[in-house]
Chains A and B, each alone.
Chain A
Amino acid sequence: MTKIQLTVDGAKVSDDVEPRMLLVQYLREKLGKTGTVIGCDTSNCGACTVHLDGRSVKSCNVLAVQADGSEVTTIEGLAEGSVLHPVQEAFRECHALQCGFCTPGMIMQSVDLLKDNPDPSEEEIRVGIEGNLCRCTGYHNIVRAVQTAAAGKVSGDAEAGSPAATAETEKVEV
């Protein structure tokens, strides 16, 4: 067992873990942060994306011991209390999900993308989320959501999929 100390979603945690434990397992099984999901086991799908020291990583491709001394943000740490992060809100407003399984990873990667490039083109968004797979192939509304968040057009009170939310993102061809 190896002792690790890290900060997860703003809280300091300390644990003895097996060196082989993956960061995603640590988050889910030790800390109960099941908002971060495991989608593929091959590091392709990006569903387990979290932020490690401010940059997006696939948490199935990092050992928990490698995160020692680091700061981790998961999908569960994005909202401020009951106020969703603008990207979360945009995903809700644009109904950027079908089954929802890829959503935590998509949101975490989108937040990282917008940090780097606050005003991405549609192409830049599609390239920026190339490491995240949506098996429902629901990419159109995901791209819309990122555009909506980037444009600062998140109203925060629109019903998901309402005409108002759709009208704001008309520039995207479907």
Chain B
Amino acid sequence: MIPTQFDYVAPGSVDEALAALAQHGDDAKVLAGGQSLLPVLRMRLNAPEVVIDLGKIDALREIRDEGDTITIGAMATYQSILDHTGIKGSLRLLHQAISEVADPQIRHRGTLGGALVHADPAGDCGAPTLALEADLVIQGPSGERTVAATDFFEDLFTTAVGDDELLTAIRFRKHDGWGSHYEKFVRVAHQWPIVSIAAAVKVDGGTISEARIGLVNMGSTALRASATEAALVGAQATAEGVAEACAKAADGTNPPSDLNGDADYRRHLATVLTKRAVLKAAGG
């Protein structure tokens, strides 16, 4: 199938894009890399009257190393993020998760910003964004605001970005000195994870001093495993040491049931994968 008819605008700047959004409001859909939106349009799950393509706004593709932080433009492709040496060195969790998004062709077109605003709870990017405690930069008619990752994901396919706003950048603090691992569980290569875990830990002398755990596909949004994070502090970075904390990984979650597994299976999977991810992150 092909999409229903729509009008197309390709603004050359963020201001022009915001003006187009203000004009078309609910009738418009913003096109980033299109790797999720185009299948949605083709299957006619959505039929916007206007598509606003951000592809011509080069400024949104920039990746800036700012010393303690790296700011990734919302339209930076997965591939450009993978090719960035600073990200490979200081944001290894994000780098690893993105290296496992879909397949090479999708990574050449798809964007981190597009994926985060799409907010598919089964997407790979939400969990590392949460675990690395990124800040999301949003522009709207009244200017720019910054939202912490923990406040960004509101519900299934719903974020803090308003109808008249755009996500313009994602700012990450560098995580030098942290260990990390993205543990993805899939049935078929290049598919969405059944469950994935994004773990970042700091280990001092064999003891975990800080832990951040992001969960993929364990509810209506990407989630933090707060109970596990708290319980890991002070734990020995060994299989026995982390076992009790990791058993709490599914606490408070409400995972979906589908053909790949029911909710109980996902809860079990979350605990097993969290343990694997934490141990690998801790270098064990």
Chain B, residue nearest A48 (CB): B105
Count residues of A near B (Cβ-Cβ below 8 Å): 33
Instruction: List which A29-64 residues lie within 8 A (CB) of chain B.
Output: 41-44, 46, 49, 52, 55-58, 60-63
Q: How far is the CA of A127 from the CA of B104 in the complex (A)?
A: 9
Inter-subunit contact B108/A57 (CB<8 Å): yes
Q: Does A113 contact B (CB under 8 A)?
A: yes
Question: What's the least CB distance linking A97 to chain B, in Å?
Answer: 20
Count residues of B near A (Cβ-Cβ below 8 Å): 30
Chain A, residue nearest B5 (CB): A20
Contact residues in A for B1 (Cβ distance below 8 Å): 41
As a 0/1 sequence over residues 5 to 49 of chain A, the CB contacts with chain B under 8 angstroms (1 = contact) are: 000000000000011111001000000000000000111101001
As a 0/1 sequence over residues 123 to 137 of chain A, the CB contacts with chain B under 8 angstroms (1 = contact) are: 000011011100000
* A-binding segment of B35-43, B149-157, B205-213: B35-43
Given the known interface contacts A109-B104, A112-B104, the answer about A61 and B38 at a Cβ–Cβ threshold of 8 Å is yes
Question: What's the least CB distance linking B163 to chain A, in Å?
Answer: 21
Contact of B103 among A20, A46, A52, A68 (CB under 8 A): A46
Contact residues in A for B51 (Cβ distance below 8 Å): 19
Contact of A131 among B2, B34, B43, B102 (CB under 8 A): B102
Question: What's the least CB distance linking A29 to chain B, in Å?
Answer: 11
Q: Does A121 contact B (CB under 8 A)?
A: no
Question: What's the least CB distance linking B52 to chain A, in Å?
Answer: 11
Q: Does B161 contact A (CB under 8 A)?
A: no
Inter-subunit contact B5/A56 (CB<8 Å): no
Question: What's the least CB distance linking A28 to chain B, in Å?
Answer: 12
Q: Does A66 contact B (CB under 8 A)?
A: yes
